[in-house]
Amino acid sequence: MRLRGQERMGTRSPAATPLPAGLRSAGRLGRRLKRYPLVSSFILVALLVFPAITADWLAPHDPIQGFVPDRRQPPVFFGGTWEYPLGTDRIGRDILSRIMHGAKVSLSISLVGIFFGGVLGTLLGLLGGYFRGWLDAVIMRLVDISLALPSILLALVLAVALGPSFRTVILVVVFVLWALYARQVRGEVLSIRERDFVARARASGNSHARIILRHILPNVANTIVVLATLQVGSVIILEAALSFLGVGIPKPTPAWGLMVADGRQLIVSAWWIAFFPGLAITLTVFALNLLGDWVRDRLDPKVSQV
Amino acid sequence: MTGASLGDVILEVEHLETHLDTKMGLVKAVDGVSFSLRRGETLGIVGESGSGKSMTALSILRLAPRPAARIVGGRVLLDGKDLLRHGAEEMRRVRGRFISMVLQDPQTSLNPVYTIGGQIAEAIAMHRDVPRPELLSRAVAALRRVRVAAPEQRVRDHPHQLSGGMKQRVVGAIASSCEPRVLIADEPTTALDATIQAQYLRLLKDIQRESGLSIIFITHDFGIVADMCDQVAVMYGGRIVEYGPVRAIFNTPAHPYTQALLSSVPAVDRTVERLYSIPGQPPSLWDLPPGCRFEPRCRWAEPRCRREYPPVLPGRGAGDAAHSASCWKLEDPEWDNPRC
Residue B95 per-residue DSSP state = B
User: Is beta strand B239-245 parallel, antiparallel or unpaired with respect to B312-314?
Assistant: unpaired
Do B227 and B327 fall into the same domain? yes
Query: Domains in chain B: how many in total?
Result: 2
Do B206 and B279 fall into the same domain? yes
* A-B Cβ pairs (cutoff 8 Å, strict): 63
Is B323 a member of any domain?
yes
Is B103 a member of any domain?
no
- Cβ pair A289, A42 in contact under 8 A: no
Do B134 and B86 fall into the same domain? no
Number of residues assigned to chain A: 306
Is B116 a member of any domain?
yes
Cα A203 from Cα B30, distance rounded (Å): 19
| φ/ψ (deg, to 5) at B81 | -100, 135
pLDDT digits (tens, 9 = 90+) for A40-74: 666 766 767 788 888 788 878 888 888 888 877 88
Give the pLDDT score at A246: 82
More confident residue, A125 or A204: A125
Do B207 and B325 fall into the same domain? yes
Q: Is B237 left (phi over 0), alpha (psi -120 to 50) or beta?
A: left
Do B185 and B256 fall into the same domain? yes
- A180 to chain B, closest Cα gap in Å: 24
> Considering only CB atoms, which chain A residues are within 8 Å of B101?
199-200, 203-204
Instruction: Using the 3D structure, point to which of B129, B152, B178 is the last residue of a domain.
Output: B178
- B113 to chain A, closest Cα gap in Å: 7
Instruction: Using the 3D structure, point to which of B137, B161, B178 is the last residue of a domain.
Output: B178
- For B29, the domain range is 3-98+180-331
Cα B187 from Cα A289, distance rounded (Å): 48
Q: Give the residue-averaged pLDDT of A193-208.
A: 88
Do B294 and B185 fall into the same domain? yes
Residues 6 or more apart whose Cβ sits within 8 Å of residue B299: B256, B260, B340
- Cβ pair B169, B147 in contact under 8 A: yes
Do B47 and B192 fall into the same domain? yes
User: Is beta strand B231-236 parallel, antiparallel or unpaired with respect to B239-245?
Assistant: antiparallel
> Considering only CB atoms, which chain B residues are within 8 Å of A203?
61, 63, 95-96, 100-101, 103, 175
Give the pLDDT score at A119: 96
pLDDT digits (tens, 9 = 90+) for A154-168: 888 888 888 888 888
| φ/ψ (deg, to 5) at A182 | -60, -45
Minimum-distance CB partner of B123 among A132, A204, A219:
A204
pLDDT digits (tens, 9 = 90+) for A242-269: 888 888 888 888 888 888 888 888 888 8
> Considering only CB atoms, which chain A residues are within 8 Å of B178?
204
Q: Give the residue-averaged pLDDT of A202-211.
A: 89
Give the pLDDT score at A281: 86
Each of the 340 residues of chain B gets a pLDDT tens digit; together they read 444 445 789 999 999 999 998 888 888 889 999 999 999 999 999 988 888 898 999 999 998 887 788 999 899 999 989 999 999 899 999 999 999 999 888 888 899 889 999 999 999 998 888 898 899 999 999 999 898 989 999 999 999 899 888 998 999 999 988 889 999 999 888 888 888 888 899 999 999 998 889 999 999 888 889 989 999 999 998 999 999 999 888 888 889 999 888 888 877 777 777 888 888 888 777 777 788 988 888 888 888 888 889 988 888 765 656 888 898 888 887 777 777 7
Do B231 and B82 fall into the same domain? yes
Is B340 a member of any domain?
no
Across A80-84, A95-99, A183-187, B28-32, least confident range: A80-84
* CATH number of the domain where residue B320 is located: 3.40.50.300
Give the pLDDT score at B214: 94
Do B204 and B164 fall into the same domain? no
In 3-state terms, what secondary structure has residue A64?
coil
Full set of structural domains in chain A with CATH: 36-56+70-304 (1.10.3720.10)
Cβ–Cβ contact A207 with B under 8 A? yes
Do B212 and B310 fall into the same domain? yes
Instruction: Using the 3D structure, point to which of B178, B211, B233 is the last residue of a domain.
Output: B178
Give the pLDDT score at A249: 84
Is B339 a member of any domain?
no
Q: ipTM greater than 0.85, yes or no?
A: no
Do B184 and B309 fall into the same domain? yes
Give the pLDDT score at B37: 93
Do B60 and B136 fall into the same domain? no
Is B104 a member of any domain?
no
pLDDT digits (tens, 9 = 90+) for A267-289: 888 899 899 999 988 888 888 78
What percent helix, strand, coil does chain A show, rounded to 5? 75, 0, 25
pLDDT digits (tens, 9 = 90+) for A170-196: 998 998 899 999 999 999 999 999 888
